[in-house]
Structure 1
Amino acid sequence: MIQALARRLSVVALASFLFSATPLVAQSGGGALQQAIAGEVARDAALREFYASRNYAPIWVSGSGADKRRTKALFDALGKAGDHALPAASYRVDDLTRAVRAASGVSERAKVEVALSRAFSDYAQDVQSGVLIPSRVTSEIDRAAPRRGQAATLAAFVKSSPSGFLRALPPQTDQYEHLIKEKERLEKVIGAGGWGAKVSGGTLKPGMSSAQIPVLRARLARLGYGRASNSAAYDADLQQEVAKFQRDHGLSPDAVVGPGTMSELNKTAAERLSQVVVAMERERWMNFPLGRRHVWVNIPDFHVKLIENGRVTFETRSVVGQNRRTHRTPEFSDVMEFMVINPTWNVPYSIATKEYLPMLKKDPNAVSHLQLLDKNGNRVSRASVDFASYSSSNFPYRLKEPPNDGNALGLVKFMFPNTHNIYLHDTPSKSLFARGQRTFSHGCVRLADPFDFAYALLKGQSSNPKATFQKRLSTGRESVVMLEDPPRVHLVYRTAIGQPRGAAHYRPDIYGRDAAIFSALTKAGVSLRAVGG
């Protein structure tokens, strides 16, 4: 911490020096400097494009007031890079400091000019669009972070207020602000030694008496739930605090401290901070307008929300993909174009061959609710097929389930056509929504209240959304309803959810994606900080 503080003070001192001193650049002719800059960027296409557009005039080292303000603003921002959980060391601030102070000739000044532009570009990209390329971490994240071209970013910077431009680069969302505050809070917790002793032993339930209950009370109190005491009784007050903790962490609020609750209780501040750091990176990946009307599907939260003009107008529980390589729900964004009432389920080929074909080999009359079709869509008699002669590589038939109350898709599905073949839908398996961790699907997202979701989507195009929907439903026939105000759909994965007040809420890393992202961030130079005092 002391080293980090010293480094920041050094950066502030340097910025002050650059802003007040008369640069050596002013002593030499501009033409020679421009020629030297041209040589420095000759093999860098992006910087060459930017500097060529301004006849290789400098933006950092000319000695002008504008250049001084830009340089000071850049060093101020680089000195605070750690506040955004960025790889501060990668910007080589110490090397830049020495280079700026040592520059005396035209060649050295040209090198400093280009080095500052590169540091600016790296920082601007990292803080605006993220340190990592999402798909390089895992193919399950199909998201292109909004990366502005290097030349375009520099050109915009030159035309703007330097400090204002740099302040506007990070996501300007409430969530990002909440996460920064949570990051600062956790850094102080780590600096103070953490949350104390962990809870151990077996399950703790209301009405019990145990030596671990004072430990539970103390840990909850440090986490912000209730007060510590030496009472070994699991009383009503403690029950209330445990249930609140469970709700804030996506657990069933039964007040029973079993393995799941105990695991979440015993997470260290450093583990929580790593979740926050990952959430900040994910927020940067989505540093673009989400849409006036959008659907927010937070996979590990097991909830779906409809958000209109910044306000949640509908929310329901969800079931997401199983934690298997082929079943995990991917992350991506698209546009919901229509809903299908009384849908037909066209069984995906992978499910047909991997799950149903082995059943049909044993019993041709298995899964009798599904129809067998040839490649032209004609129905085929099962008696005419030797299922044993086929495998997952040569099965020539399709399976489908016509509309019915027991259809795997339920009675409505919500479509945002995409390469992943993922959509939201109803389900006949309603009992699964009572579970805490709801990872049961093949990847699509099942909704607990699909009819109400349909009514919410239709409210802008029908004076009586419920009647409109029910009329189509009552026919029993498949029916497509186009959405006149199609919302954006964002399938996201947030295990740290910042709150306007108090600590963030957390969710388990059900697919291990956060761990993979944090590992990649660590390799890129991001580190956790502890703040004392």
Structure 2
Amino acid sequence: MQVKIFRILSIVFIFISHGLSAQSYDEVSELIRFRIESDEPRDKIEIRNVSLLTIEDIIRFYTDRTFEKAWSANGFLTEEAYELRFEIKQAEFDGLIPEDYNLAIIESFFLTFEENKKNGVQNEVGDLADLDIFLSDAYFHLAKNLEIGKVDPSKIGEDWEISRKAPVHDYPQLLEEALVEKSIRKSFESLYPQFSIYKKGREVIRELTAKVKEDTLNWKKIKVDKAIHVGETNSQIPRIRERLIYGELLEKYTFQDEKLYDSIMLDAVKNFQGINGLEIDGVIGSQTAELFNDSPQDRLDKARVNMERLRWLPDTVKNAEFILVNIANFQLDYLKNLDTLISERVIVGKKYHETPIFMAEMSYIVFSPYWNIPYSITRGEIIPSVRKNPNYIASKNMEVVTTSGKVVDPSTIDWNAKSFPYLVRQKPGEWNSLGLVKFMFPNKHNVYIHDTNARSLFALDDRARSHGCIRINNPQDFAKTLLANDPKWTMEKIESAMHQNQETVVTLDRKIPVVLVYLTFWADSKGEAHFRDDIYDRDAEVLEALNK
């Protein structure tokens, strides 16, 4: 009995020598356990009338560590606690909202503790226990949002058909490791999307956030009735010049006529067009003028939306070889071992025929293809045209076939009948709407990449012109790159295969992931921000969900 009493007194002495009573030490862990335990089933845990965000992670984390406190020692907050508070605030630069992680109540605890320290007052044990739980809860919730995104794209009208990735990390284990290694920041960075453009995007958001706070510009809408060429005068030029200077694309300078679009402005306008994916011609048309209306807040909102989209992307995008189509940028990139081997202009679906967002695997190429015309186009466009012009089918190098593939004479068909039990296809050739080759990645949308006979459209800034498929500018170069593993497919053979009367199907020696995404903002490897027009009006819905 005396030995037992001696041991208890020894433990008490150790606690006192560290400036903390045995009772208060026991009470912090005991209170954490008390807050989490319940004798009744419940859907939520409330601390000071505030619901926790991550109940399962909280229960497992504290149970595994036998309810030992994580964020304080000897009655004082650890450096890791301060680091976590800082990282919650830094979530703003991920496009997230720090207040989503109970920042207000966490801040109130910190202020109380700092005031206690200033006045030489000991922190309340209950406050230490409650803050401990709030900090861990905030860590788990922020970790999940960084890894897979805050918004579930399947719950909004985003039409994002790429499956949302499942969390890979065990957040309680990740936090335990971060506490041992004393590196909260590093643990959060491990959750970022593994694309360099994500970290670069954070820096752009940091800059935009500062600009929003400093912004005093009048963002009255700029609108031009006709294109403005260098050397011409226009009442909108002073406002355009002001915005170029504000965007640090033009330095202040002395001018004789404020309404003159002078040669000094020309390079700045071209630079602005390049950053925004427009034709770099120095002509201020309607599209260029419209982009001058994006305020820092508008751009910050757009950046936030697209950082969230990057968090949605699955790890398969990191494959050594894949094809990436950014619909909003009208561009296709073929990447292999992190090198961009092909970068081509593309034409995508116009409004109401939007190119969907999804992933599939390219497995074969068809040279000199037939165009098997979708029934919706047959019903809406071809049948009405034949009713007006009986020679329409022949004039467009088309043919009518049965479902078994038998060719039918168009003159034997009743084009006014209610039902149309046939298929219409366009034969291979220069005037085929698919052009001379198509690249197939089978999918439920029947979307693929193909050539086109309407080549003038590639010169346009707005290339949302198709029924949903993707038209590529230089298909022969794309085919050559995809077939590079097979030496017999020379450029001469490819050109020959593209000019036949019958289809030639070539199976690729591997399946290549094709990723169709919709990004209206990204930052390149140099940290340059790129913004694109929201051609399908999808950003607002994601932004609204982010702000909830």
Q: 1:245 aligns with which of 258, 272, 277?
A: 272
2:329 maps to 1:329: no
Alpha-carbon distance, 1:178 to partner: 1.9
Range with greater deviation from structure 2 (108-117 or 182-191): 108-117
Secondary structure at the aligned position of 2:509 is classed as coil
Deviation at 1:329, TM superposition (A): 0.8
Q: Is residue 278–residue 288 contact of structure 2 (8 Å, CA) maintained in 1?
A: yes
Relative distance call for 1:253 and 1:83 in structure 2 (3 A) is closer
| Alpha-carbon distance between aligned partners in 2 of 1:253 and 1:52, rounded to the nearest angstrom | 57
Task: Within 5 Å, give how 1:202-241 maps onto structure 2.
Answer: 202=225, 203-210=227-234, 212-228=236-252, 229-232=254-257, 233-241=260-268
Q: Does 1:158 align with 2:176?
A: yes
**Closer/same/farther in 2, CA of residues 420 and 433 from structure 1, 3 Å limit:** same
After superposition, the C-alpha distances for 1:39-93 in whole angstroms (9 at most, x for unaligned) are 389556995588569965456626887x967755543432322222212212113
Q: Identify if the C-alpha distance between structure 1 residues 179 and 25 changes in structure 2 by more than 3 Å, giving closer, same or farther.
A: farther
Give the conservation status (yes or no) of the 8 Å contact 1:38–1:56: no
Q: 1:61 aligns with which of 63, 69, 72?
A: 69
Task: Check conservation: 2:305, 2:539, Cα contact below 8 A.
Answer: yes
| Closer, same or farther: CA 41–494 of 1 in aligned 2, 3 Å | farther
Aligned to 1:284: 311
Asked if the contact 1:145–1:284 (Cα under 8 Å) also holds between the matched residues in 2, the reply is no
Identity fraction in percent: 28
Please say if 1:302 is aligned against 2:292. Answer: no
User: SS state of the match for residue 389, structure 1?
Assistant: coil
**Which of 444, 449, 472 in structure 1 is aligned with 2:469?**
444
1:170-219 Cα offsets, whole Å, 9 max, x none, are 22422112211211222222222255566566543222245543443332
1:124 aligned partner: 143
State the AA in 1 paired with 2:480: Y
Gaps of 5+ in 1: 1-19, 525-533
From the superposition, tell whether residues 220 and 69 of structure 1 become closer, same or farther in structure 2 (CA, over 3 Å).
closer
Q: What SS does the aligned partner of 1:367 have?
A: helix
Q: How many residue pairs align between the two structures? A: 496
User: Greater CA deviation, 156-165 or 82-91?
Assistant: 156-165
Q: In the TM superposition, what whole-angstrom CA distance separates every residue of 1:293-346 from its partner, at most 9, and x where no partner exists? A: 12121112112111222222111111110111xx10111222222211111211
Q: Which amino acid aligns with 2:328?
A: P
Distance 1:200 1:465, change over 3 A: same
TM-score by length of structure 2 reads: 0.80
CA contact (8 A) 1:409 1:426 kept: yes
Distance in 1 (CA, whole Å) between partners of 2:386 and 2:67 is 72
Look up the match of 1:376. Answer: 404
In the other structure, the counterpart of 2:198 is 176
Give, in angstroms, the shift of residue 280 of structure 1.
Answer: 0.9
Kept in 1, the 8 Å contact 2:437–2:450? The answer is: yes
2:423 match:
398
TM-score (norm 1): 0.82
Task: Pick the structure with greater CA Rg.
Answer: 2
Residue 371 of structure 1 and its aligned partner are, at CA, apart by 2.0
* Aligned partner of 1:341 among 324, 346, 367: 367
Contact 2:361/2:441, CA 8 A, preserved across alignment: yes
Looking at structure 1, the residues matched to 20 and 106 of structure 2 have their Cα atoms a distance apart, in angstroms, of 17
User: How does 1:36-75 map onto structure 2 within 5 Å?
Assistant: 37=36, 39=38, 43=42, 48=56, 51=59, 57-58=65-66, 61=69, 74-75=84-85
Supply the AA of the counterpart residue of 1:258. Answer: G
Tell me what 2:530 maps to: 505
Report SS of the residue matched to 2:491.
helix
1:414 to 421, 433, 439: 439
Of the structure 1 ranges 478-487 and 68-77, higher mean CA displacement relative to structure 2 is found in 68-77
C-alpha separation between the residues in 2 aligned to 1:478 and 1:494?
35
Cα distance change on mapping 1:165 and 1:63 into 2, 3 Å: closer
Kept in 2: contact 1:214–1:231 (CA 8 A) = no
